[in-house]
């Protein structure tokens, strides 16, 4: 895969949004349309099922040179040879970790991304040695219905203060993308605006073109 710093569009194969589609087919569409990273997210699935899904997607992303991220399950990420594992605040700091090296351990090839929802959390993630951070949710999103939007103010703060790769996330759509970019974001995560689109590949390509114009 390309260097993380060069990754702009981070998309998802989220089982809650597949609507009967085959995961590896969706992954191929996202790769073909310009995704740089793809996260496998299956919130209600057991680790064994997530591992099976990851193994079906991995050949697709490898052929395309796209990075694979596993949500929540570091052991699965290590087992299948994924590039990254993404962890929430509660999955990392909430269980007592303070350094990424503590969880990387035997999974030394897996890089770690952390969710952040406020400047203090971002500072803590930087100090912990995260490889990247997610900044959000910028807008209200059905993916995280109970999460309060952090607004573009947090995006502006990240643009001025976060020195590692960071991705704006949460409710980002083609209709508000220009505002997110104007606030300083250069990398974004998109879930529902792509997976719920009538043509997911077309929507993905539209996001990528807009990002390449900045």
| 173: pLDDT strictly greater than 80 | yes
Helix axes 200-212, 23-32, angle to 10 degrees: 30
pLDDT band at 106 (very low <50, low <70, confident <90, very high): low
**pLDDT grade for 102, boundaries at 50, 70 and 90:** confident
Domains and CATH numbers, the chain: 4-212 (3.20.20.70)
What pLDDT is stored for residue 114 in this prediction? Answer: 97
pLDDT at 140: 85
Report the pLDDT value the prediction gives residue 141, as an integer from 0 to 100: 79
Per-residue model confidence as pLDDT tens digits over 11-66: 999 999 999 999 999 999 999 999 999 999 999 999 999 999 999 999 999 999 99
If DSSP states are collapsed to H, E and C, what string results for 15-75? HHHCCCCCHHHHHHHHHHCCCCEEEEECCCCCHHHHHHHHHHHHHHHHHHCCEEEEECCHH
* Residue among 110, 113, 30 nearest 66 (CA): 30
180 φ/ψ angles, rounded to the nearest 5 degrees: -65, -40
Query: How many whole angstroms separate alpha carbon 8 and alpha carbon 188?
Result: 6
Please determine, for residue 175, whether its predicted confidence score (pLDDT) is greater than 90: yes
Pairing of strands 166-168, 132-135: parallel
pLDDT at 105: 62
131 pLDDT more than 60: yes
């Amino acid at each position: 895969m390309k260097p993380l710093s060069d990754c702009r569009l981070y998309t998802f194969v989220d089982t809650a949004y597949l609507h009967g589609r085959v995961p590896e087919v969706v992954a191929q569409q996202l790769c073909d349309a310009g995704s740089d990273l793809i996260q496998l997210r299956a919130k209600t699935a057991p680790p064994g099922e997530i591992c099976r899904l990851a193994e079906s997607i991995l050949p697709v992303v490898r052929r395309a040179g796209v990075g694979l991220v596993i949500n929540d399950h570091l052991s699965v990420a290590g087992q299948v040879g994924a590039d990254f594992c993404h962890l929430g605040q509660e999955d990392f700091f909430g269980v007592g970790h303070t350094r990424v090296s503590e969880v990387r351990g035997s999974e030394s090839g897996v890089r770690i991304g952390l969710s952040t929802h406020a400047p203090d959390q971002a500072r803590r993630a930087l100090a912990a040695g995260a490889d990247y951070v997610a900044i959000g949710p910028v807008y209200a999103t059905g993916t995280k219905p109970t999460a309060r939007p952090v607004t573009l103010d947090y995006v502006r703060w990240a643009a001025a203060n976060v020195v590692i790769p960071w991705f704006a996330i949460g409710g980002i759509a083609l209709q508000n993308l220009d505002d997110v970019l104007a606030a300083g974001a250069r990398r974004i995560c998109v879930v529902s605006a792509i997976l719920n689109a009538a043509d997911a590949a077309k929507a993905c390509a539209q996001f990528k073109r807009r990002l390449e114009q900045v």
